[in-house]
Chain A
Amino acid sequence: MLAQGFLALLSHWRRHRLQLAMLLLGLALATALWSAVQAINGEARASYARAAAVVGQDRLEQLVRADGMRLPQSDYIALRKAGWLVSPVIEGEKRFDGERLRILGIDPVTLPREAAQVDVGAEDIGLSRFITPPGLFIVSRETADRLAGAATPPLSISEALPSGTVLTDIGIAQDLLDAPGQLSRLLIDPRQPTAAKPLAEVAPHLVRRAPVAESDLSRLTDSFHLNLTAFGLLAFAVGLFIVHSAIGLAFEQRRPVIRTLRAVGLPLRTLIGLMVAELLVLSTVAGLIGVALGYGVAALLLPDVAASLRGLYGAEVPGTLSIRPSVWGLGLAIAVAGTLASAASRLWRIAAMPLLAPARPRAWSLASERSLRLQAAAGLALLAAAWLIVGFGAGLVAGFTALGAMLLGAALILPLLLSVLLKLAAALSKGVVAQWFWADTRQQLPGLSLALMALLLALAANAGVGTMVQSFRQTFVGWLDQRLPSELYVTTRSAAESLQVREWLRQRSDAVLPIWNAELRMFGQPVQVFGIADHATYRDHWPMLEAEPDAWDRIARGEGVLANEQLMRRAALRLGDTIPLEAGVSLPLVGVFSDYGNPKGQVIIGVDMLVKLFPDASRLRYAVRIAPDRAPQLAADLRRAFDLPLENVVNQATVKDFSLKIFERTFAVTAALNVLTLGVAGLAIFASLLTLSGMRLSQLAPAWAMGLALRRLALLEVLRSAALASFTMLAAVPVGLGLAWMLLAVINVEAFGWRLPMHLFPLDWLRLFLLAVASAVLAALLPALWLTRRRPADLVKVFANER
């Protein structure tokens, strides 16, 4: 009985192969985009975890300086003498042939075994090779590929290390980082002898830091990954519209079969069970295809994502994917859950359907005006909820919840809005064909509304994210002009060279402005401190958001601090608040500047104050003011005079180009996901039109019989699709603007710590409008072509009595 019932149900798909293909394709695509995002996020998170686990930071307590600065090696010696089992680590960044790498120097002899990710005593490495010059770089295979040809010590491969990290001996690392006798931290061996002297006696300026299970990178990049996840969910939701539509149609078309199966004695529960089993089979097949496709999409997107993460956060993520069981599991689970959720209401209706209920193949799409109004009311409620969440909620999750509520609310309102618009168009039409066209379009609305809602979501996301990205771009370009007014930027290689270069430049340029910096922790976060000279370059150009009238004078006198917007928002600072700096010195906040693209907090003080408070501050960089036409010659002379590499003397245009490239790559992923989402929405329309085309014949045949030629009817079908897409686009613009506003004013502030002004780009909307109409026309083309190729015999069947 079970097998017979199941076969009877499955026979539907044999007769409706296109419908089956659309169902599988919709679900596979939805799963694919979701899985792609999960695979990318999984790869990145695994990479952060590897980074966090390097030399046991995630398991071992450490001793560090409270201010975050490096500690002298003498502290290590003193502690060892006092009986402490500690091991020294130095960490820093270094460029090799343009590749920026994280250098980790360890002492393999004292390294606790919990921190020994790589056995340096192993045969292929060898302790003596590791500790004696030129030493050994232990890196991942990907890092080794990146370093091919660079002047480095010999390389040894270990996949235990994250991409972009070099593990080497501490002495060699100190030389490379130009930090002789300095350490970043001391790892505390868990097996400490009880007799050791107290820390306060031996090294009172050091503090214990608990193991850090979650790296700074993981925290910093959370918002980036949340953004990707939100996009993945949006694409999945758009795909589910196809699934819901296809399942709904299939269930309604099978009403007679279901009625017959029940009439011949198949119990209702068994029937529902068979239908659930059928859905499980279909969703598993589609889910597997979807996850496989998702890996393909992820492989295509990952290089851009990796570049974004490196550019934005300095986070190293390998450009290759690993197969993760969690992605497969999650992908399949969401495919099955999405399918069952899409089918739940249909299954419920079948469970409640009387045995002798008539088959109504069109009933699924004939939503009444009342249900449209109810749906719109739910939409309005969601919009109101979004507004309330924005007003009273806080945090990124609240921001995305508001965003989701707004998008879903707008989608629910769309069918009623279109219905009203089409009614108006019919009322304003004069010709009989135009009147019929609008009235018939309105009648098609219930069958197409799910696809149109999907299109609205995709178009609104495109318009909104596009507006956000373009607003960001416009602001960013203007901001770069303000932030990078100097003609040349010079990075020297050592303190000694720095002094010489400064002196050399002073004689040949209008001004040499130091860009010296130090790191410290304040308000529980790492913050960069920059010292700048008192110069018109800053007074005239610096991108201030708010400032005291005498801010620059106070900075010059060492009586004030500027903070970037990120720090101001995270620490809830206001002008006049006290900013704690080094050695008990605190200064009032006198201004806040915009600092787009920087994930970290930053403060600016006068350069003299920086030198006073941070004697060890890095003093290697300068900005040089000179007449723009003289800049290229000066750069060439400088490189020649000090044998400086090309990348150490860069002009303003190069820095801007580099920044813009990072910017473009950062949003390349967003743009790709945008296009894919629009593609899925286009497919939703195609699927709906295709499944409706079979039913359309009985609606079009009377008009044909009364004298409307098939070609004209086909043209009207294409126009209908274009008209609906146009109206949907009209609705998508305000939704997109709302989305852009929320991204700029809510999500960005929560995620990155900066708020951007919103600019409008009507030409982009026009392009999107044309794209939407083009995709709708394309979607309608095949069914229309089929219509023109119908034989009269197919059409007259509609009128035949013996059907």
Chain B
Amino acid sequence: MLLELADVSKSYPTGEGILHVLRGVSLALDAGESLALTGESGSGKSTLLHLAGGLDRPDQGAIRFGGQDIARLGDRELASFRRVSVGLVFQQFNLIPSLDVGHNLAFQARLGGRHDADWTDRLAERLGLVKLLERYPEQLSGGQQQRVAIGRALAGRPQLILADEPTGNLDEATGDAVLDLMLALLAETGAALLMVTHSTRLAARLGRRLHLTAGRLT
């Protein structure tokens, strides 16, 4: 078992009281497996993804990665976990605007001390980014930016890729092409994928699918 969420709950204080985003969610993901998480807006998909990636901590429950409960890790250990074990792909791409494509691609891998120049070159080639390496994010199209984000997530060969609506900002054709590329590369690296999406069409392309409604898995 690569990732296991056991009875995880999360709530946020709001102006109108406490908002319970996740209520006792449990799920498991094996190495190399791909899982789509669907649900309405506000159902808690992104929150679940953030908890799985060590970006936030649950109020209750355990999140085990490779058997270790990351919910109990301190800030420094969580940062290390994110550097080494997780690759993140966001709908808004969230590239680092001050770095060019080449440096963005290698950024997380170098942070985690897992930089492999040959692999990064191959990724750039597979993602069609070779001619764009010296460009800055603001000079790229949405599809190009998302390809850089996928490359960045995979460059350190993490065991888990977390993707939050990775094609949400792209048109259908570009989105399909980007997803094809991501799945092919995942197959190559053996990383597991947990992807949040609104689209049942895209969800159907992954190995498994779970649906969230009002903070509970259905």
Q: Is the CB of B94 within 8 A of A702?
A: yes
Cα distance A442–B99 in the bound complex, in angstroms: 10
Chain B's closest residue to A439 (CB) is B98
Contact of A432 among B95, B97, B106 (CB under 8 A): B106
Interface flag for B174 (CB, 8 Å): no
Q: A796 — which chain B residues lie within 8 A by C-beta?
A: 46-47, 50, 55-56
Q: How large is the interface on A (under 10, 10 to 19, 20 to 34, 35 or more residues)?
A: 20 to 34
Cα distance A712–B47 in the bound complex, in angstroms: 25
- The interface bits of chain B over 78-103 (1 if a CB of A lies within 8 angstroms of the residue's CB, else 0) are 01111110001011101111110001
Minimum distance in angstroms from B49 CB to a CB of chain A? 9
Chain A's closest residue to B91 (CB) is A801
Interface flag for A705 (CB, 8 Å): yes
Cα distance A334–B152 in the bound complex, in angstroms: 53
Q: B41 — which chain A residues lie within 8 A by C-beta?
A: 802
- The interface bits of chain A over 782-801 (1 if a CB of B lies within 8 angstroms of the residue's CB, else 0) are 00000000001101101111
Q: Is the CB of B103 within 8 A of A439?
A: yes
Q: Is the CB of B57 within 8 A of A792?
A: yes
Cα distance A710–B115 in the bound complex, in angstroms: 23
Interface-central residue, A440, A709, A802, by most chain B CB under 10 Å: A709
Minimum distance in angstroms from B45 CB to a CB of chain A? 9
Q: B115 — which chain A residues lie within 8 A by C-beta?
A: 432
Interface flag for A403 (CB, 8 Å): no
Q: Is the CB of B111 within 8 A of A702?
A: no
Known: A436-B103, A706-B111. 14 other contacts (CB 8 A): A432-B107, A435-B103, A443-B97, A699-B96, A699-B97, A705-B82, A706-B88, A706-B108, A707-B83, A711-B75, A799-B94, A799-B164, A800-B46, A802-B41
Cα distance A596–B6 in the bound complex, in angstroms: 85
Q: Is the CB of A707 within 8 A of B96?
A: no
Q: Is the CB of B82 within 8 A of A799?
A: no
Q: A704 — which chain B residues lie within 8 A by C-beta?
A: 79
Q: Is the CB of B94 within 8 A of A443?
A: no
Known contacts A705-B55, A792-B56, A801-B91; is A436 also within 8 Å of B99 by CB?
yes
Q: A709 — which chain B residues lie within 8 A by C-beta?
A: 75-76, 79
Q: Is the CB of B79 within 8 A of A707?
A: yes
Cα distance A433–B96 in the bound complex, in angstroms: 12
12 cross-chain CB contacts under 8 A: A432-B106, A432-B111, A432-B115, A433-B111, A436-B96, A439-B98, A705-B94, A706-B82, A792-B56, A798-B94, A799-B46, A799-B91
Q: B103 — which chain A residues lie within 8 A by C-beta?
A: 432, 435-436, 439
Q: Is the CB of B96 within 8 A of A703?
A: yes
Chain A's closest residue to B53 (CB) is A705
Interface flag for A390 (CB, 8 Å): no
Interface flag for A367 (CB, 8 Å): no
Known contacts A705-B82, A705-B88, A793-B12; is A801 also within 8 Å of B46 by CB?
yes
Interface flag for B165 (CB, 8 Å): yes
A residues lining the B interface (CB < 8 Å): 432-433, 435-436, 439-440, 442-443, 699, 701-712, 792-793, 795-796, 798-802
Minimum distance in angstroms from B28 CB to a CB of chain A? 23
Q: A801 — which chain B residues lie within 8 A by C-beta?
A: 46, 91-92, 164-165, 168
Contact of A706 among B46, B47, B83 (CB under 8 A): B83
Minimum distance in angstroms from A443 CB to a CB of chain B? 4
Minimum distance in angstroms from B92 CB to a CB of chain A? 7
Q: B94 — which chain A residues lie within 8 A by C-beta?
A: 701-702, 705, 798-799
Interface flag for B175 (CB, 8 Å): no
Contact of B56 among A702, A793, A798 (CB under 8 A): A793
Minimum distance in angstroms from B18 CB to a CB of chain A? 13
Minimum distance in angstroms from A418 CB to a CB of chain B? 14
Minimum distance in angstroms from A329 CB to a CB of chain B? 47
Cα distance A795–B95 in the bound complex, in angstroms: 15
Interface flag for B110 (CB, 8 Å): yes
Q: Is the CB of B98 within 8 A of A442?
A: yes
Q: B76 — which chain A residues lie within 8 A by C-beta?
A: 709
Cα distance A442–B96 in the bound complex, in angstroms: 13
- The interface bits of chain B over 3-15 (1 if a CB of A lies within 8 angstroms of the residue's CB, else 0) are 0000000001000
Cα distance A711–B95 in the bound complex, in angstroms: 21
Q: Is the CB of B99 within 8 A of A435?
A: yes
Minimum distance in angstroms from A736 CB to a CB of chain B? 31
Q: A440 — which chain B residues lie within 8 A by C-beta?
A: 96, 98
Q: B79 — which chain A residues lie within 8 A by C-beta?
A: 704, 707-709, 712
Interface flag for B112 (CB, 8 Å): yes
Cα distance A709–B98 in the bound complex, in angstroms: 19
Interface-central residue, A436, A705, A706, A709, by most chain B CB under 10 Å: A706
Interface flag for B207 (CB, 8 Å): no
Interface flag for B42 (CB, 8 Å): yes
Q: A706 — which chain B residues lie within 8 A by C-beta?
A: 82-83, 88, 107-108, 111, 152
Q: B12 — which chain A residues lie within 8 A by C-beta?
A: 793
Chain B's closest residue to A366 (CB) is B138
Q: Which 8 A-B pairs have the closest CB atoms?
A: A707-B83, A432-B110, A443-B98, A439-B98, A709-B79, A792-B56, A702-B94, A707-B82
